[in-house]
Structure 1
Amino acid sequence: MTATIQGIIPVMLTPFTEADAIDYSGLENLIEWYIANGADTLFAVAQSSEMQFLSLEERVALARFVVEKAAGRVPVIASGHVSESRDDQVTELISVAATGVDGLVLVTNRFDPKGQGGAVFMDNLRHLLDALPADLPLGLYECPAPFRRLLSDDELAFCADSGRFAILKDVSCDLATVKRRVALTRNSSLAVVNANAAIAFDAMRAGSAGFTGVFTNFHPDLYKWLLAHSSEHPALADDLSVYLALAAMAEPMGYPKLAKLYHQRLGTFSCARSRAVDFDIRERFWALDALLDKIMQGQENFRARIAATR
């Protein structure tokens, strides 16, 4: 394995035009924003990218574009693992692997789409491992859609022992589970990276190798500071961790369209269209713009406090 896949890993948005095509100009701006704001790796074609609502051709084109524009400055990983049948999964994953990504992320619920249990999971996992390029680092993603399928300790140990895996995007949302998984994978190449904002700081202190939650689309720089500098300024880190957890409570209010409204404000791209969220989130969630105001005010307050420590 050549790429180190850990740190602050934004789960990338996919901007669309009003005509419902991928907005590649806006996507290029977004890539630059992530990198300028502390991203260590980019996770393209994830649930935040609305991968379940993209055609295979769009998923492949999206991954290829991110690799091209990142231009080696940070590693790029991608999933696009949405199909049910083995043959379709092999086709989609080999197609994404061919785009030049530094890591290919496998979705755990796809190994057991009907909830039949561990034996089916392992049989399908082994089948895919045999079909995928042996030299390409792999990742695991406990994607919540269409359902969250957490790895058992035995399944995680198998993946760690295989030497094929570089990262687990942990969606257990449970600190005790993160700690146990960090211990299970300690002597392997597999990094456990938590995705839950409520436990982000505690998970980092417990050995999570970064953060890859949805609010990396709002303030990856603040998570980066927490990861890199919390031990130098513990009181500020504690305050920041509380703000980050509370800000992330806005996720149910129409994410990922919520994040697209935020990037409209920043000028990253002009259209907040989402295929996953096809309703007016301002109409459904009252005072949404006021909430975004407060999130942005909190960002600036903490950025000022951080700047004062330098």
Structure 2
Amino acid sequence: MKNSPKGFIPVMLTPFYGNGKIDFDALTQLTESYLKAGASGLFANCLSSEMFELTDQERIQVISHVIKVVNGKVPVIATGTFGGTINKQADFVKRVHDTGVEAVILISSLLAGEQEADEVFDQRFFDLLDQTEKIPLGFYECPIPYKRLLKPQQLQQYVATGRVIYHKDTSLDLLQIKEKIAGTAGQKFGLYDAYMVHAVESLKAGAAGLSCIQGNYFPELIVWLCQHYDDVNLTNEVQKVQHFLIDNMDVMHNVYPLVSKYFLQKRGLNILTFTRRDVGSFTPSVIHGIENLYKDYDFLREDLNIKIAV
């Protein structure tokens, strides 16, 4: 976000009770753990939060609860578009903004259909801009219902309005990221990369930080990477962290976010593995992979002298 130092913006989980209701006590503990780990902001009500499985009322309740717990320590952003007419989307953007978020995030794939041209997207975005007064906005290239990537020229045009201050990039394309950063230089705007394969290169290119699911396993490690990615005295250690994230990519994505909730249990958080979204089976082989990830992270954390945040 525009007022944040370069750093980590967690894509927050939503804890549930075994009956499927939101566990707000666990959400408090989870929020506090992100803060203790050194997060420079929070992304509430996102895909990791199972936002499509929440009602509008629950979305507002979750966002409001996070903002209350944060109490101004860091900025909070949250998704505010879930399809329908632009009028309908604008109305919910306003509701989300009223909770106190710094920016309301737009899902790029919900402003235009997969086969619709960029011109249609542009028209709807500027219509939404007009209907949401001076509310700061951001973009999330969410893979659901489909992934719609913003072209660097589009993003440059949107940021130039002074209203778009955040972009979560999921292009997996370092060249595009560099073009987006170059095209928005000098603006009150931050690009946050979600893809850990080139996390270090993104940060060196000028990304404002990282916003990735790996932070729902070990947030303090992602914070460490944001702080030390360009430290010439820690080049080997930074490469070790980058390789660790790449080597464990599949393990962390398999039946996510169930597996990350299990991992957080092992860290000491009072969170159940219940998910409203059907993400697949929590098989013995999946459990074995997460158990190994936990052990490997413990070795890495001790090697880097990182304290675990619970």
- TM bucket normalised to smaller: over 0.9
Q: Counterpart in 2 of 1:236?
A: 237
TM-score computed with the length of structure 2 as normaliser: 0.93
Q: Counterpart in 2 of 1:56?
A: 56
Q: In 2, distance between residues paired with 1:307 and 1:280?
A: 35
Matched-pair contact (CA < 8 Å) for 1:257–1:277: no
Q: In 2, distance between residues paired with 1:278 and 1:21?
A: 18
SS across alignment from 1:287: helix
**Map of 1:1-310 to 2, 5 A cutoff?**
3-4=3-4, 7-134=7-134, 136-230=135-229, 231=231, 232-277=233-278, 279-282=280-283, 286-307=284-305
**Residue-by-residue CA offset, 1:204-261 (whole Å, 9 max, x unaligned):** 1221111101111011211211121231300111111100122232243101111111
Q: In 2, distance between residues paired with 1:300 and 1:79?
A: 33
Q: In 2, distance between residues paired with 1:80 and 1:256?
A: 21
Most deviating of 157-166 and 246-255: 246-255
Q: Kindly provide the amino acid, as one letter, of the partner of residue 16 in structure 1.
A: F
Q: In 2, distance between residues paired with 1:38 and 1:246?
A: 24
Q: 1:301 to 1:106 in 2, by over 3 A?
A: same
SS across alignment from 1:84: coil
SS across alignment from 1:147: coil
Q: In 2, distance between residues paired with 1:133 and 1:34?
A: 31
Question: How far is 1:192 from its partner?
Answer: 1.3
SS across alignment from 2:291: helix
For these two proteins, the number of residue pairs brought into alignment is 304
**Residue-by-residue CA offset, 1:155-206 (whole Å, 9 max, x unaligned):** 1111121111111101001111111111111121121111001111121122
Q: 1:169 to 1:5 in 2, by over 3 A?
A: farther
Most deviating of 71-80 and 267-276: 267-276
Q: 1:148 to 1:6 in 2, by over 3 A?
A: farther
**Residue-by-residue CA offset, 1:98-136 (whole Å, 9 max, x unaligned):** 1111111111111113531111101110111111140x3
Q: In 2, distance between residues paired with 1:220 and 1:138?
A: 25
Aligned-residue CA RMSD (Å): 1.8
Question: How far is 1:6 from its partner?
Answer: 5.0
**Residue-by-residue CA offset, 1:47-106 (whole Å, 9 max, x unaligned):** 110111111001111111110111111111100422232232122211111111111111
Q: In 2, distance between residues paired with 1:302 and 1:209?
A: 25
Matched-pair contact (CA < 8 Å) for 1:6–1:193: no
Question: How far is 1:2 from its partner?
Answer: 7.0
What 5-or-longer segments of structure 2 have no aligned partner? none
SS across alignment from 1:78: strand
Q: 1:225 to 1:89 in 2, by over 3 A?
A: same
Matched-pair contact (CA < 8 Å) for 1:51–1:80: no
SS across alignment from 1:162: coil
Q: 1:270 to 1:194 in 2, by over 3 A?
A: closer
Matched-pair contact (CA < 8 Å) for 1:51–1:82: no
Matched-pair contact (CA < 8 Å) for 2:60–2:96: yes
Q: 1:127 to 1:191 in 2, by over 3 A?
A: same
TM-score computed with the length of structure 1 as normaliser: 0.93
Matched-pair contact (CA < 8 Å) for 1:15–1:269: no
SS across alignment from 1:208: coil
Structure 1 runs of 4+ with >4 Å offset = none
What 5-or-longer segments of structure 1 have no aligned partner? none
Residue identity over aligned pairs, in percent, reads 29
SS across alignment from 1:48: helix
